[in-house]
Amino acid sequence: MYIVINGGGKVAAYLAKTMLDSGHRVAVIEKRAAVAEKLAAELPKDALIIVGDGCDAQFQEDAGASRADIFISATGDDDDNLVACQLVKVAFGVPRVLARVNSPKNERIFNALGIEAIFSTSIISRMIEEEATIGDIRTLLALRRGKMAIVEIELPVDRCVVCNKEVSALNLPDDCVLMAIIRGDDDVITVRGDTRLQPGDTVIAFTNVERERALRKALIGE
């Protein structure tokens, strides 16, 4: 994926390095020349560093926002993050826009405008990686402390390893609880011990974030 990050502080630098280490292409926009120079020295050489204001469409364009899969505004100023995210959505139609939110009172405003408001840097990294590499498992709600999450997993139609088995007989990881099943268009089933999963079911689970991959493997077999 191609990811544009607004901001060059510790949070943005961490995100940039994490995404680069995962094999993604990254551009960073930072308006402080000294900070941008430091980033250029610390990040891998394939990172694109733009010196400029991430709230300016010209610098967003220079960073390649028009072809970005994800835009993240990770400055320490919520107002700047909001402006940058709104601008990139309107000017470039970036499909996914995330923002670091420093004040909890601003979370509702970001979400109302279609911007994914995240408090934890580690959650931002994990959300991006899940969308990029897992596919079958998508975080619906990352709880604020970042340790637990509600996720959905779609069971395969063919060769389903857990289908027609009772939930109580499944070998699920610790700290993972199946909550509900969405079957068909609108049939929602509360999970009990004797509930049997069927091909194509969408399973809603409550899990420790460190167990998500293990949960996917237990349910999908990959």
Boundary of a domain, candidates 131, 164, 199: 131
Poorest-pLDDT segment among 30-34, 76-80, 85-89, 114-118: 114-118
The answer to pTM > 0.85 is: no
152 three-state secondary structure: strand
Boundary of a domain, candidates 63, 97, 131: 131
Tell me, what's the pLDDT at 72?
Answer: 93
CATH of the domain at 65: 3.40.50.720
Tell me, what's the pLDDT at 182?
Answer: 84
Which H/E stretch holds residue 71? strand 70-73
Whether residues 157 and 98 share a domain: the answer is no
In sequence order, what DSSP letters do the residues of 172-198 get, joined into one string?
A: PPTTEEEEEEEETTTEEEE--TT-B--
Residue 58 domain boundaries: 2-131
The Cα 145–Cα 132 span in angstroms is 23
Average pLDDT score, the chain? 84
